[in-house]
Amino acid sequence: MLKKLYIATLALGMVATSAVAQEKEMTAESNKGGIVLTSADKEYQVSLNGRIYMDGVHYFDDKTDLSDDTSIEDIRFGTTVKWGKWSAKVNVGFGNDEVKIKDAFLRYKHAKNSTFTVGNFFEPFGIEAAASSKELRFIGASNMTQAMGIGRSIGLGYTYYTDKFYGSTGLFAGSVDNNNDGDQGFATTTKVAYTPIVNDDVTFQLGASFTYRIPEANGFNESFNDDDYNREVVLSAGPEHKFLNADIQGARTDMRFNFQTLVLSGPFMLQAEYTQTKVTRDDDYVSRLMNDNPYWTHTAGGGYAWPTTPGDYPSWYGEMRDIETSAYYAQIGFLLGDNYAYNSSSAYIKRPKAGTFEFLVRYDNTDLNDIDGTYFNGSYGPADLNAALGGQGNMSIQGGKAETYSAGVNYYLNSNVMFRVNYSYMDVNNWQYPLDEKISMVKARIQVNF
C-alpha cells in the first residue's frame, strides 16, 4: 500500500512539476549528475534525485555460518523543491524489497548560514551517523556507528555554520517507522564542531555531540497494563548483527556522548570518532510480582519464599544495573587524482572529482559488554541461590566485543557512478558464539547517484 501510495505521489509530483515548469518557463540543467529545473527569476527550483546500490558480499566463515549475498541494497527516489527561503524534500527507499521513508522535511533558510528544519531527517550526532551513506568512505558505517549512531528521527532542528564553526541542535520524537503500540520516545540532540584551521593546505576539526533519549515503548504489555515496562535499547553491528548485539531491556534513559576529529591535508585524510553510551534502567518489580500472583510469602521451614519487601525484589528478579558501552574508530584516506576539500555547511568532506581513486584503512574497536561478576546459569553476578538457579543475577549485558581491521578502494568514475571494494577482518569475542574467533569478509558495491 505504501509503495503504491508513493508511486502515485511521485507521478503526481512529476505532473505538477511539468505544469509548473510550463507556467513559470523553467529551464532544465544537470547539477552533479542530477536533474534540476529552475525558474527564470531563480526563485523556484525543483530537483529529482536518487541512487542505486548493487552489492555483493562474501564471508570467510569461522564456525558460525554466514550467508554470502548479492542484492540491491538500496534504491532511492526523491524530490527537492525550493521556493525563496523555503525548501521541502521527500526521499523514499525501496531496497531489499522494503519501502522506507528516509528524508521527509520542510526547511526554512532564514539567513545565509542558518536554517530551521521540521520533519524526518538526520539527528546531529557524530560524523558518520549524520552523513548520507553515499558520502561515507567505506561501504556502510563503522561498527561503532552501526551500534551507537542514531540516524534519522522526526523532529524540529536548527543549524548554524560558518567556515570555522558548525552547530546543530534539535528536539525529536522517535522514528518514522515505529509501528509498536505504546508511547513514542523523545530526545534532544546537539552537535558542535570547531575548525580552527581551514585553508587549501590543511583543515583541522574537533567536535562533540550529545543526546539524551527516552526510548520508545516496545509495545503494550496487557498483563501489566503498561507500555513503559517494555522500553529497550538495542545496540547491534557487524555481519548479520550476530557477534555484536546488546539488547538492553528495562531502559529508562539513554545518553550518548561522541567526540570527533577530522584532518585534511592535500590528498591525505584522518578521521576518528569515540562514542560512549549510558543506559539507565529500572524495573517495575511490583507489577512483575503481582503478575506472578504470589499465594504465600514464606514457608515454615525457611525454604522457598517470595520476596516480602521492596528491598528483596532486585535479588529475586535480578538487579537492573545501569549499562555503559563504548567504541571508537580511526581511519586514514589517500586520494590519487585529487585533494580532499572541506564542506562547511555539512562539516564534512566534499566528493572527489571524476577519475579519482581513494585508498582507505580503518581500525574499529567496539565493546558492547558491561559485565559485573561471574556467569552462572544464564546470568552474571551474585544472586540468591533460587534466583541464580532461575537465571536472574544482576542483569549484566554481554553484547560482544570486536576489533575490526578494514581496507577499501573507491573509484569515482564521474559525478554519478563510483565503484567500491572493502575487506574487513574481525577479531570477535562473544560467549554466545564461543567457537568463533576470526571473521573476515569482502564487500563490493556499484553505486549510482543522480
Structural domain boundaries of the chain?
2-283+318-449
What one-character DSSP code corresponds to residue 138?
S
Name the residue with higher pLDDT: 71 or 3: 71
Asked if pLDDT for residue 247 goes beyond 50, the answer is yes
Judged by average pLDDT, the poorest of 23-32, 253-262, 363-372, 435-444 is 23-32
Name the residue with higher pLDDT: 253 or 2: 253
Q: Residue 428's pLDDT is what?
A: 94
Q: Distance between CA 147 and CA 134 in Å, rounded?
A: 19
72-87 confidence digits (pLDDT tens): 999 998 999 999 899 9
Output the average pLDDT for the chain: 84
What one-character DSSP code corresponds to residue 414?
S
Q: Residue 385 pairs with which residues in a beta bridge?
A: none
Asked if pLDDT for residue 14 goes beyond 80, the answer is no
CB-CB neighbours of 383 under 10 Å = 24
**Local structure of 412: helix, strand or coil:** strand
Q: Residue 101's pLDDT is what?
A: 87
Residue 42 phi/psi, 5-degree rounding, is: 65, 10
Per the CB < 8 A criterion, the answer to whether 437 and 430 are in contact is no
Neighbouring residues of 338: CB distance < 8 A, sequence distance ≥ 6: 267, 352, 353, 356
Q: Residue 368's pLDDT is what?
A: 96
301-326 confidence digits (pLDDT tens): 555 556 666 666 666 666 678 899 99
pLDDT (mean) for 264-278: 98
159-207 confidence digits (pLDDT tens): 999 999 999 999 999 777 766 666 788 999 999 999 999 998 999 999 9
Give the cell for residue 51. Answer: 541512487
45-99 confidence digits (pLDDT tens): 888 888 999 999 999 977 888 999 999 999 998 999 999 899 999 999 887 778 8
Q: Out of 2.40.160.10, 1.10.3720.10, 3.30.70.260, 3.20.20.100, which CATH number does the structure's domain 2-283+318-449 have?
A: 2.40.160.10
pLDDT (mean) for 17-37: 64
pLDDT (mean) for 133-159: 95
Whole-angstrom CA distances from 217 to 182, 196, 227, 286, 317 are 5, 42, 6, 19, 21
Q: Residue 330's pLDDT is what?
A: 98
* Residue 153 burial by Cβ neighbours in a 10 Å radius (0-12, 13-18, 19+): buried
Asked if pLDDT for residue 7 goes beyond 60, the answer is no
Q: Distance between CA 97 and CA 108 in Å, rounded?
A: 34
State the DSSP string of 208-241: EEEEEEEPPP-S-BTTTTBSSTT-EEEEEESGGG
Q: Residue 244's pLDDT is what?
A: 96
Model-level pTM?
0.87
